Structure 1
Amino acid sequence: MAARNYGQYSGMTTALELVGERWALLIVRDLLVGPRRYTDLKAGLPRIPTNILSTRLRELQESGVLARAPLHHSVVYVLTDLGRQLEPIVLALGRWGLQVTNDPAEGDVITADSLTMDLYSAFRTDAASTLAATTYRLHVGDVDLAVSVDGATVHIAPWSSATAELELEVTPSIRSLIAGEVSPESAREQGIVRIAAGNPELLARFAATFSLASVAVPF
């Protein structure tokens, strides 16, 4: 099945042969958010050629990582139990990548699925478990998310009609706040974050909850 064979017998080489091809883990990342139709995956990965997307989906299905399932008179792709075992690996890679990534290049896009998984990657249960439950509304371009934190649990979904204690309009440079490179105050001064509604003091809580660095836990 694998397009690449490393000629070694080990768990690492087997894993790379199955999910190490270009685009494969990004497909898995988006499916970790939820079931997706072919068109959903293509929209979320706009630069992937259609033939490559079809090939990767076939390879991942043959390897048992994902499956096709009926949903509302359509067909969606879903992760199998084997595929969902990749979740901590994808989150760890996302957390590591957020530490070394730069500002987006021209033409780079942020999708709801990519931002959702970046936030899951940066979520700090140690900080969140000490803070009051909070719901944030996050706008980044066309992406509009509800981010609900309750103790050590976080749930992220497209915005519907939930009530948010803090509504933020942010640029892609929100990564610098998450990485601890700028303070919440500096993020506002630099235009990285704009508070559209809610209590401005809760921005410090957001920065403590979604962080790659040690952050002093606020109220």
Structure 2
Amino acid sequence: MSEARWRLSVDQDGVTIAGDRFRLTTAPQKFAADEAVFGLAESAEMEEIVSELEAMTRRTYGQYCGLARAMEILGERWAPMIIRDLLVSAKGFGDLQKGLPRMAESVLSTRLRELEHTGVVRRRSVPVPAGGSAESVVYEVTAYGRELEDIMLRLGRWGAQLLGDPRPEDIVTPDSLVMALRATFQPQHAAGVRATFELHILDVVVHARIEDGTLRAGAGQVPDADLVLEPGLALRELMTGALTPAAAITGGSIRMMGDSALLGLFTQLFQLPRTATHGHG
């Protein structure tokens, strides 16, 4: 992609922000001292203007194509992860940071501004619990952004074929597991089924509630789980069919509490494609 470049200059005659295809200049004015100039350049207002320009002048492919436009949004580092987490639920800035701990705060701020600018994400104020009239800001996907859900789930299923054993730096988050459950759910096997599963993966707990073909997945424990699973690394093998439920039970590959007969149902309801074969084609 080509990257738009812009320049900021501040002098005693005003402020000029210019790019390859634009030039913005404040009305001519004289500052009393150099300190005033630097005060303007370092003000929060100036930071906001600069950040907005960064979002508006991000890298482009230079092609009049819907896919190119989409990838100018989704192709930015961390943007898909932010959308993934917001598709699970609306979140405050701190909650997003918690789910994406390796993402720099400045990058998160920039990505959120970009996603707001393109209409994928919006912010809204919500009351602070027990905070009287106090409010906090949360981010959520718009109706336009919600259209990405099926795309993200399909992309997750496609990428799952490349999953081997976790890398040393890999982490698991509640939102990533909830989206994984949504992505791997097989509704054709869920007609007439009413069951609740609880999964413990490392220190993360999620649940999946199936009610006659419909899945509701979320973070945390549930008091009425029919089957509680602690599958460890065997989960991927179970979901791809590389490990049968019977072999998992007899071999002690997983720990579980509840009706063990439901393990077979779980592997029917949640399925991963087998690992992709590389080097052919």
TM-score (norm 1): 0.90
Counterpart of 2:114 (choices 47, 59, 74) is 59
Q: Does 2:99 correspond to 1:44?
A: yes
Q: Does 2:249 correspond to 1:194?
A: no
The higher radius of gyration belongs to 2
Supply the AA of the counterpart residue of 2:157.
R
Map Cα deviations across residues 124-152 of structure 1 (whole Å, 9 max, x no partner): 011112x5210011111221122101122
Counterpart of 2:180 (choices 101, 108, 118) is 118
Aligned to 2:214: 153
Could you tell which deviates more after superposition, 168-177 or 12-21?
A: 168-177
Aligned to 2:266: 206
Aligned residues: 212
Supply the AA of the counterpart residue of 2:105.
T
Counterpart of 1:170 (choices 216, 228, 231) is 231
The answer as to whether partners of 2:160 and 2:273 remain within 8 angstroms in 1 is no
Map Cα deviations across residues 75-121 of structure 1 (whole Å, 9 max, x no partner): 11000011000000000011111122111111311100000001100
Could you tell which deviates more after superposition, 80-89 or 41-50?
A: 41-50
The answer as to whether partners of 1:146 and 1:162 remain within 8 angstroms in 2 is no
Supply the AA of the counterpart residue of 1:105.
R
Could you tell which deviates more after superposition, 167-176 or 203-212?
A: 167-176
Map Cα deviations across residues 46-82 of structure 1 (whole Å, 9 max, x no partner): 1111111111111001111001111222111000011
Secondary structure at the residue paired with 1:59?
helix
Larger relative contact order, structure 1 or 2 (CA cutoff 8 Å, min sep 6): 1
Q: CA deviation at 1:190?
A: 5.9
CA RMSD between the two structures? 1.8
Counterpart of 2:202 (choices 141, 149, 153) is 141
Aligned to 1:217: none
Paired with 2:92 and 2:189, the residues of 1 have a C-alpha distance of 36
The answer as to whether partners of 2:157 and 2:273 remain within 8 angstroms in 1 is no
Gap change, CA 1:137 and 1:4, over 3 Å in 2: same
Paired with 2:221 and 2:136, the residues of 1 have a C-alpha distance of 23
Could you tell which deviates more after superposition, 174-183 or 4-13?
A: 174-183
The answer as to whether partners of 1:166 and 1:199 remain within 8 angstroms in 2 is yes
Secondary structure at the residue paired with 2:216?
strand
Q: How many percent identity over aligned positions? A: 42
The answer as to whether partners of 2:194 and 2:210 remain within 8 angstroms in 1 is yes
Supply the AA of the counterpart residue of 2:147.
Q
Supply the AA of the counterpart residue of 1:199.
D
The answer as to whether partners of 1:174 and 1:192 remain within 8 angstroms in 2 is no
Unmatched 5+ stretches in structure 1: 215-219
The answer as to whether partners of 2:236 and 2:272 remain within 8 angstroms in 1 is no
Gap change, CA 1:41 and 1:122, over 3 Å in 2: same
Unmatched 5+ stretches in structure 2: 1-55, 128-134, 275-281
